[in-house]
Homo-oligomer: A and B are copies of this chain.
């Protein structure tokens, strides 16, 4: 990591483990300043707490200081809770005093949506970068070190039970979500945090910086997050890759589901998907589990934190009720999870208990026997089956049953999960289970999402550790020449012929073609290429040639070619009299191929995204596309192909020849490298159609469109 990242690491450490804290803007009232002070004073036996407010000499029983400079030491952390127009002054004082880090609770920055607010936030950003005083916030609620019970934060602590410490690190852009539903419901469910971090407007330290810190923290096994927006995905992707290396899953809520899928864009690729689908693709690519709800975030994070990786994907379900076990198995099956049949031995053991009532099967319905003294025999027999990696107990029960389940989990090398069928507020077994590390779900559908996420995470990580994340090779001399040319171009849109020239430098094979300036030249070109041929106008001003009527396919002789030349030129003029026309392309006609679209679109937040779709009308009607962030590996290229609903069209459907998916995968990888090499120049790229020939015959780009970044005017 860079030294800037290191200074972030050190600053976050001081925020979470301060030995001394200045509370600037502390008051005796229980508003933000007073609450921050009250929260810190709970740990005054371990942390030196200095209220700062010129109006008081003492607050909450400790000495109050008029300014930061007046403190007896340079604190590890300053909590800043002053009106927004005084924040910079306080931070400058922190710098002079050598304070190690600052949490700015104050609001009134970019979130106001005013020019003044944005300017003030920009000043804060620049100050943090230049001064080295790293800042959390502004407009946040602070952080909590749950395991050491240190709470430098401004939310109310009232009416809340003790927060259990645990293995989940929570990073949340919304303070009221962190110190609201995610805090209270975790406490209610017995789910423990290592730290709770609210990041606010992220003028300096951002989401990924905190995640990066937690990846190094030995007490954090899973990172749970809540994201409203990302400035850029680069750091996010970097920490997600690192998380995979160290084996700490990231589980996220991210806002953005309601954006409309499609956008206005010059290329088909750009128009086909919205930013939310792209974020989903990044989550899948980098092993991040995306969820939608508070409870789902907590339950799945807890499952990931408290589960082992087992070699068996099989799940056994046992319940006291046929209806409960059926619904549970149904939801698991709907998510593609496997419920292996019982072994003969286990079937016999269960039948010995239930004597033909209920079902000795998977799922099992053991009727009331599951609630009684046979429980340990039953669950032990179920979990010990060789094909079972996880036992689900779908029931309620007594304290005695809870103790037996907890004991089995501690002894077993496999996973044990409760699907609690009673009320959430129930007594009996539930408080014991919550206090244990047995993961608990409350609905069959929630359980199924959780177990699916657990298996998917380990599958993904195993693949990733084997294949790596992919990286672009060094740029070649020829590619570098093309890149320089593009950087110097005055206009944004390249003609088909020019676009193909760019692609060729990255090894993409083009249909053979000749650019011609007259009907005679066109006929000569056709004779050279061999009939049938395609004729189309080559113009950077006509992006969608089929719609403009300037393409003619399947021309079989010289007369047809000469006619077509005149026709497409006339149509081009009719379409747009001002269009600059570079000539008329005569191309070989590719048949016996499956058409796909391959494209790149540079998302302002997420970076260069690669798209593959089944070609023709289908890609738009059925939105049948798969997406990855560039670069990709060969493995990912094949996964992109297989993720298409129409993949079987490529694999030889209904007796048709299988297409050359290996060549398609290689082209996807090459285009992803092009996107990385040209990240500064390329806005959008379409290869539409890319013709996928029968196996071993390769792929051919029949049309291409390159659009450069707008900044060049």
Question: CA A323 – CA B324 in complex, angstroms?
Answer: 35
**CB-CB < 8 A to A174: which residues of B?**
321-324, 326
B322 A111 Cβ-Cβ under 8 A: yes
B172 A323 Cβ-Cβ under 8 A: yes
**CB-CB < 8 A to A326: which residues of B?**
174, 228, 255
Q: Is A576's beta carbon under 8 Å from chain B?
A: no
**CB-CB < 8 A to A175: which residues of B?**
321, 323
Question: In the complex, what's the smallest C-beta–C-beta distance from A617 to chain B, in angstroms?
Answer: 7
B228 A617 Cβ-Cβ under 8 A: no
Contact of A177 (CB < 8 Å), options: B255, B293, B321, B423: B321
Question: In the complex, what's the smallest C-beta–C-beta distance from A585 to chain B, in angstroms?
Answer: 22
Q: Is A188's beta carbon under 8 Å from chain B?
A: yes
Most buried by B among A111, A323, A329, A444: A323
Q: Is A166's beta carbon under 8 Å from chain B?
A: no
A residues 328-382 near B (Cβ < 8 Å) are 329-334, 356-357, 367
A324 B180 Cβ-Cβ under 8 A: yes
Contact of A324 (CB < 8 Å), options: B176, B295, B444, B617: B176
Contact of A426 (CB < 8 Å), options: B114, B184, B292, B357: B184
Q: Is A547's beta carbon under 8 Å from chain B?
A: yes
Q: Is A467's beta carbon under 8 Å from chain B?
A: no
Question: CA A449 – CA B256 in complex, angstroms?
Answer: 17
Question: CA A655 – CA B547 in complex, angstroms?
Answer: 8
- Give the contact stretch, choosing among A13-21, A71-79, A644-652, A688-696: A644-652
Question: CA A226 – CA B322 in complex, angstroms?
Answer: 12
- Give the contact stretch, choosing among A301-309, A506-514, A618-626, A702-710: A618-626
Most buried by B among A176, A185, A622: A176
Q: Is A253's beta carbon under 8 Å from chain B?
A: yes
**CB-CB < 8 A to A28: which residues of B?**
none
Residue of B nearest to A32 (CB): B368
Q: Is A173's beta carbon under 8 Å from chain B?
A: yes
A324 B177 Cβ-Cβ under 8 A: yes
B443 A323 Cβ-Cβ under 8 A: no
**CB-CB < 8 A to A112: which residues of B?**
356-357
A258 B424 Cβ-Cβ under 8 A: no
Residue of B nearest to A644 (CB): B621
Residue of B nearest to A426 (CB): B184
Question: CA A332 – CA B655 in complex, angstroms?
Answer: 45
B322 A654 Cβ-Cβ under 8 A: no
**CB-CB < 8 A to A547: which residues of B?**
654-655
Q: Is A442's beta carbon under 8 Å from chain B?
A: yes
Q: Is A575's beta carbon under 8 Å from chain B?
A: no
Question: CA A654 – CA B321 in complex, angstroms?
Answer: 55
A residues 291-317 near B (Cβ < 8 Å) are 292-296
Q: A321-B177, A425-B424, A653-B621 are in contact. Are A295 and B442 (CB under 8 A)?
A: yes
**CB-CB < 8 A to A331: which residues of B?**
257-258, 292
Q: Is A320's beta carbon under 8 Å from chain B?
A: yes
**CB-CB < 8 A to A442: which residues of B?**
294-295
Question: CA A423 – CA B367 in complex, angstroms?
Answer: 32
B622 A357 Cβ-Cβ under 8 A: no
Question: In the complex, what's the smallest C-beta–C-beta distance from A9 to chain B, in angstroms?
Answer: 26
Q: Is A66's beta carbon under 8 Å from chain B?
A: no
A159 B428 Cβ-Cβ under 8 A: yes
Question: CA A685 – CA B428 in complex, angstroms?
Answer: 57
Q: Is A396's beta carbon under 8 Å from chain B?
A: yes
Residue of B nearest to A226 (CB): B323
Question: CA A637 – CA B655 in complex, angstroms?
Answer: 34
Q: Is A639's beta carbon under 8 Å from chain B?
A: no
A residues 639-666 near B (Cβ < 8 Å) are 645-646, 648-649, 653-655
Q: A331-B292, A332-B258, A333-B257 are in contact. Are A323 and B424 (CB under 8 A)?
A: no
**CB-CB < 8 A to A108: which residues of B?**
357
**CB-CB < 8 A to A423: which residues of B?**
181, 184-185, 187-188
Q: Is A687's beta carbon under 8 Å from chain B?
A: no
Question: In the complex, what's the smallest C-beta–C-beta distance from A62 to chain B, in angstroms?
Answer: 26
B327 A177 Cβ-Cβ under 8 A: yes
**CB-CB < 8 A to A107: which residues of B?**
357, 367
**CB-CB < 8 A to A425: which residues of B?**
188, 424-425
Contact of A646 (CB < 8 Å), options: B181, B621, B654: B621
Question: CA A331 – CA B226 in complex, angstroms?
Answer: 14
B396 A180 Cβ-Cβ under 8 A: yes
Question: In the complex, what's the smallest C-beta–C-beta distance from A34 to chain B, in angstroms?
Answer: 13
Question: CA A422 – CA B330 in complex, angstroms?
Answer: 31
**CB-CB < 8 A to A622: which residues of B?**
618, 622, 624, 645-646
A258 B445 Cβ-Cβ under 8 A: no
**CB-CB < 8 A to A258: which residues of B?**
329-334
A443 B333 Cβ-Cβ under 8 A: no
Question: CA A622 – CA B426 in complex, angstroms?
Answer: 46
Q: Is A385's beta carbon under 8 Å from chain B?
A: no
Contact of A173 (CB < 8 Å), options: B176, B323, B443, B446: B323
**CB-CB < 8 A to A294: which residues of B?**
442-443
Question: In the complex, what's the smallest C-beta–C-beta distance from A178 to chain B, in angstroms?
Answer: 8
Question: CA A184 – CA B320 in complex, angstroms?
Answer: 16
Q: Is A232's beta carbon under 8 Å from chain B?
A: no
**CB-CB < 8 A to A648: which residues of B?**
621
**CB-CB < 8 A to A226: which residues of B?**
323, 327
Question: In the complex, what's the smallest C-beta–C-beta distance from A329 to chain B, in angstroms?
Answer: 7
Q: Is A427's beta carbon under 8 Å from chain B?
A: yes
Q: Is A421's beta carbon under 8 Å from chain B?
A: yes
**CB-CB < 8 A to A177: which residues of B?**
321, 323-324, 327
Q: A177-B324, A295-B443 are in contact. Are A617 and B426 (CB under 8 A)?
A: no
**CB-CB < 8 A to A256: which residues of B?**
330
Contact of A293 (CB < 8 Å), options: B255, B396, B444: B444
17 contacting pairs across A/B (C-beta < 8 A): A111-B322, A114-B356, A159-B428, A175-B321, A181-B423, A184-B423, A184-B426, A226-B323, A226-B327, A255-B330, A257-B331, A258-B330, A292-B331, A424-B425, A425-B425, A547-B654, A622-B646
Sample of 16 more A-B contacts, CB < 8 Å, known A228-B326, A253-B327, A621-B645:
A108-B357, A112-B357, A172-B323, A177-B324, A181-B324, A181-B421, A181-B423, A184-B423, A187-B423, A226-B323, A257-B331, A294-B442, A295-B443, A617-B654, A621-B648, A622-B645
Q: Which 8 A-B pairs have the closest CB atoms?
A: A174-B323, A258-B333, A176-B321, A257-B334, A188-B423, A177-B323, A184-B423, A293-B443
